[in-house]
Amino acid sequence: MKVRVDPDRCQGHTLCAMAAPEVFELSDIDGHATAVVEDVPAHLEENVREAARSCPEQAIEIS
Ligand code: F3S
């Protein structure tokens, strides 16, 4: 599984970082998230799916 955050959609709601703190990091500058893990390890996949479901902006892209 691969994951990325669409920087144009992210509005800094932070729910992704709560669901999968190992994968999503919030910028100190604008509060927007980036995925610091591109290839998601199997044991974090469910957390990443949960993050994608919880993002109000649908900014998290899973492939
Ligand atoms: Fe951004 Fe959505 Fe996370 S808006 S900070 S990707 S919950």
- Identify the pLDDT of residue 34: 97
- Identify the pLDDT of residue 38: 83
ipTM (interface predicted TM) = 0.98
Query: What are the residue ranges spanned by the domains of the chain?
Result: 3-62
Give the number of the atom of ligand 1 that is nearest the alpha carbon of residue 5.
6
pTM for the predicted model, two decimal places = 0.94
Which contacts qualify for 10-13: CB closer than 8 Å, 24 or more apart? 10/55, 10/57, 10/59, 11/56, 11/57, 11/59, 13/55, 13/56, 13/57
Candidate of 3, 26, 28, 32 to mutate for ligand 1, largest count of ligand atoms within 8 Å of Cβ: 32
Give the number of the atom of ligand 1 that is nearest the alpha carbon of residue 14.
5
- Identify the pLDDT of residue 40: 98
Q: What string of pLDDT tens digits covers the 63 residues of the chain?
A: 999 999 999 999 999 999 999 999 999 999 999 999 989 999 999 999 999 999 999 999 999
Residues lining ligand 1, Cβ inside 6 A: 5, 10-16, 32-33, 55, 57, 59-60
**CATH annotation of 3-62:** 3.30.70.20
